[in-house]
Amino acid sequence: MALKLFQTMVKPRQTHEKSMCSFRKTKNATMQVRNFLILLSCAAALTSCKNGLFGKNKKDKSDVTGWNYNDKNQGGYQVAKSQEQGLGPGLVFVQGGTFTMGQTEEDVMGNWDNIPRRVTVPSFYIDRTEVANVHYREYIFWLNRVFNPEDDPNNQKIIDAALPDTLVWRSELSYNEPLVEYYFRHPGFNYYPVVGVSWKQAHDFCLWRSDRVNEGILMQKGYVSTQGVQGQQGQENFTTKSYLLGLYQAQPGKGATSKKNPLKTPQGTPRTTVTMEDGLLLPDYRLPFEAEWEYAAYGLINQNPRPSTKEGKRGEELQSNKQVYPWTHNMNSSGLRDTKHGSWQGQFLANFKRGSGDNAGVAGGLNDRAVYTSEVTSFYPNGFGIYNMAGNVSEWVADVYRPLTGLDVAGNQDDVAPYRGNKYQKLYVKDPAATDPNERYERDSTGRVKMTDVTDEESKNRRNYQRGNVINFLDGDSLSNASYGYGVTTLISDKSRVYKGGSWNDRAYWLVPGTRRYLEEDQASSTIGFRCAMDRMGSPEGNKRKTGNFWKTKKQKR
């Protein structure tokens, strides 16, 4: 009885303690919520104070005039927020630097046209793979759609000028007719490198690709309507230059007319056209110049024992080895095989011709598993992630060929981005007094803005150059002792273009990136293809990186 009485007395007390504990928890939770709301209000108030009175956004100001940017009440000068360059389709970033360009193997051909010299290559972008048949057929398809020969018979000339020469596969003592008929068209060869393309055709493809990529960006952002694309016919088609000059009037998309459009006119209304200053459009695709191609082929970043991987972390300024071929990682940089099973037993690292009559090896153990070309993503990529910079097909580069360009570059101290082939141009102005773009400028039959060559008269008073065409500068011009009697004493001319790298039908010597050959710019071969490059805008180390070195500065004491 005493025990029951005790339990009866304790039970109400326990119930009371539980209810008091629950009350305290509820009270604490309420206090926490109230404190959070107070902190949130304070943060909002601080933000409002920071941005200006009553929550008005603080305007960016000019460091030289003090005037507001993007303010319609102070002139309306529009300055886009600084942004990184976008990565174009198919490209990889190549961080530039210094390297020794030229010969790394014994000059067994006796050409002596690749004398070693140290140069610097600025950062740039280059295609991850060679341009494939399916990519080039996309170009031909677009030409047929916009320049339909059924609408105008003269358009057939435009199509014919772009088509690759499939007859390059023919050889007097070889049976190659299947390749003539099917290599470019058959889907089984979709992702094999396009061949039979001249330097001129490759150059035109780069121009077309630049315009299609920028037009695609504007469609994705809503500044150009997708409905207007199908209506493009003949001269009235999008090119980046004609769009920027106002010659081509694109149909605005929904994003251009939206109130959320970040692009504004000086009056503060949504702007329907994009300018280069907005940072949306990409630079042009182009053929890489020779030094770029050779630098990218080596992938020398893999020879840095400790490369910089993020902002604020400095890498080593050295390269551990000199390469002969593009490959390095877990491989013999001076050999042709994967060393996983020994340097004489591994798989070949490129598509090339091992010896006379040996383009693939023996049945059951094919060495490179390709008689002719192979897919553009076959074989091991180099340090920059680029495929087939040795073997498969040789590749056009932008340069005009001269045997001793290396000596000319060194003598003229043009050791940054060395390139032979400059022929300066400017916009062709039809009517200098006109303000209407259609009256001031002119387009050709393909819709491209007409350009004109810079004359020697216009250049004679300049300090940095005195001629508009400097292709033969110091090697064939009046300042040099060299003369090129094309067709009489030499096959070298101002139309001779360099091509680099070995092909499926070349011996290992030509796999060395420093080797060089040439062909006329209007000729083609079954062993020559190409890839595109693009200039890098901004930090040479890539996006989310700065240019130059920075230190924390101490405030001066009074």
Q: Which of 425-429, 446-450, 479-483 has the lowest mean pLDDT?
A: 479-483
The predicted structure's pLDDT at residue 410: 64
pLDDT digits (tens, 9 = 90+) for 42-57: 555 555 444 444 445 5
Q: Which of 278, 275, 226 is nearest to 255 (CA)?
A: 226
Is pLDDT above 70 for 449?
yes
User: Between these two residues, 262 and 452, which has the higher pLDDT value?
Assistant: 452
Give the residue, 13 or 106, on which the prediction is more confident. Answer: 106
Tell me the C-alpha distance between 499 and 479, whole Å: 27
Q: What are phi and psi of 411, to 5 degrees?
A: -70, -30
Ordered by start, the domain boundaries in the chain are: 91-223+280-420+473-535
Calculate mean pLDDT across residues 71-84: 86
Q: Are strands 394-400 and 528-529 parallel, antiparallel or unpaired?
A: parallel
Nearest alpha carbon to residue 309 among 547, 552, 545: 545
Q: Could you tell me which CATH class the domain 91-223+280-420+473-535 is placed in? A: alpha beta
End-to-end CA distance of the chain: 88
Quickly count: other Cβ atoms within 10 Å of residue 416's Cβ: 13
Distance, C-alpha 406 to centroid of its chain: 25
Residue 342 binned pLDDT confidence (cut-offs 50, 70, 90): low
User: What pLDDT shows up at residue 31?
Assistant: 64
Average pLDDT over residues 74-101: 91
Per-residue pLDDT at 296: 97
Residue 509 pLDDT level (bands cut at 50, 70, 90): very high
Task: Tell me the pLDDT tens digit for each residue of 345-384.
Answer: 678 889 999 989 988 888 988 888 999 999 999 998 999 9
| Of the listed ranges 18-32, 162-176, 394-408, 508-522, the one predicted with least confidence | 18-32
pLDDT at position 36 is: 63
The tens digit of pLDDT for each residue in 457-470 reads: 999 999 999 999 99
Query: In this structure, are residues 403 and 418 in contact, taking their beta carbons and an 8 Å threshold?
Result: no
pLDDT for residue 53:
41
- Other CB atoms within 10 A of residue 24 CB: 10
For 410-424, write each residue's pLDDT tens digit.
Answer: 667 789 999 999 999
- Model pTM score: 0.87
Query: Which residues contact residue 235 at a Cβ distance below 8 angstroms, ignoring those fewer than 6 apart?
Result: 443, 444, 445, 446, 447
pLDDT tens digits, one per residue of 229-251: 888 999 999 999 999 999 999 88
For 488-500, what is each residue's pLDDT tens digit? 878 899 999 999 9
Residue 175 pLDDT level (bands cut at 50, 70, 90): very high
pLDDT tens string 205-221: 999 999 999 999 999 99
Record the tokens describing residue 284, joined without a space.
Answer: 């042009």
> What HEC string does 503-539 produce?
CCCCCHHHHCCCCEEEEECCCCCCCEECCCEEECCCC
Q: Are 45 and 53 in contact (CB under 8 A)?
A: no
Give the largest CA-CA distance in the chain: 132
Q: Is the pLDDT of residue 28 over 80?
A: no
Q: Give the model's confidence band at 22: pLDDT under 50 very low, under 70 low, under 90 confident, else very high.
A: low
pLDDT value, residue 9: 47
